[in-house]
Structure 1
Amino acid sequence: MNPDTHALAGAHAVDAVTDEERRSFELHLEECADCRAEVAELRATAAALAADTELTPPPALRGSVLSAISRTRQLSPITDGGSSASAPTDASASSDEQDTEAQEADAVGQTDELAARRTSWRPWLAAAVAAAVLAFGAVVWQPWDDAPAQITATDQILRAPDAERVSLPMDGSEITIVRSPAKRQAVFVADDMPAAPAGKAYQLWLDLPGKGMVSAGMIPTAGSSVTVMLTGDATAATGAGITLEPAAGSTQPTSDPVALFAFT
């Protein structure tokens, strides 16, 4: 497995690749079960973070941050440290030169102290940012920030003006494929989808002219809500399907489809 190609898994999962990288990686996906599983997991995580449910932070977050700041020892102000006394007007030239050198040394010392302070702040700031990212699942949030969240890649497909929806019932639940030809991609959405049997997983396929069923990624563990971006260019696809495959996925369908979606 080419490490450079494998490294594109994360970027591909959030649609942060160029067209050339996308084509190259999708060819790689057909042969690499590890990458297919990784992309499916990353997309499931991104979909969970992009859920429409408003994210309510713990009420104590801002208080705990301010409390941590209040317990952090503040550095004392920088003082001149120099004497206000004036040198005698009849001081020798060598004495004047010494005074000038001392003043320059004081200035350099103050500059070095400022630099040292800035350096000492950086680890604390980095730790604070890292803690915020981990606490909110890689979503940076500020209690006092009312700006709307950025629209995700899946939301762009679901809200596209040309979005085409095809829904089917499945064991008491509803499963849907939403395709946007203008965006060249499709999204799978399910509510209360039944879990796959032990050792198996649901795999998505795009029906492409001249190629047949081409893998479009794995569906993560079923739950109350599942949203997955299909891999591959869905523009020319005439339909999509779902099959039960080994947990790592297959390069071609190995079982009868549990669902078939026809695009118009």
Structure 2
Amino acid sequence: MTNETLRLFGLHGRRALVTGSGRGIGLALAGGLARAGAALVINARNEAQAAEAAARLRDEGLEADIAVFDVADAQAVTRAVDEIEAHLGPIDILFNNAGIQKRAPLDQFAASDWDELMRVNLDGVFHVSKAVARHMLARGRGKIVNISSVQSALARPTIAPYAASKGALRMLTQGMCADWARHGIQINALAPGYFATDLNRALVDDPEFSEWLCKRTPAGRWGRVEELCGAAVFLASEASNFVNGQTLFVDGGMTSVV
């Protein structure tokens, strides 16, 4: 591999904020970015969880700080982003990963659950992106990656509100591109398929669901969280400087077939 290729895909000298990165896919993404050279800012609502995640990265010799805030709290987001910029340095890369899932038949879905889901999955992305973009716009550069889902393109019973939030996030990504691309910022979405994590252990351990999933997915299996890192590093690096407003599906081919 040439030095130029390494430079294009390297993240050395960059700082990345990954929301909801105390565990699961967020922590896996944070680790992938850090191993590519980025200094990480781990975010979670729970300070102990964020500190534990950062400690795991530091144990590998990686650079990681923490920022504790709720992405759905616009004022807390602005304060936290301004503090990071003032005390740690510029946020060069933002991954909007924080999200929640709530399941129920749509006719039985509580309005309060709908509101909470949208506050985190959609409003939270707006709040954090706006706060970070103010600084990126002033510098004339930056990378924003929104974590979407195959559910931005496919629906399943009991998760219509979640699918709606991810579909809206896909269009918000394109809208951010329309407003900010001319200022040197690249905004894209990464849409994972079904990945085996602790958070969906019940589905992984359900033989009927796993059999359906493996038959439905051309790759024939669940994804492994580390398989998201290559796409994440690409979208965070200079290699993607002319990629903007796109959604990259990492789903084993699920959205490509009927």
- TM-score bin (small chain): under 0.3
Query: Counting helix residues as a fraction of each chain, which structure ranks higher?
Result: 2
Query: Counting strand residues as a fraction of each chain, which structure ranks higher?
Result: 1
TM-score when normalising by structure 2: 0.27
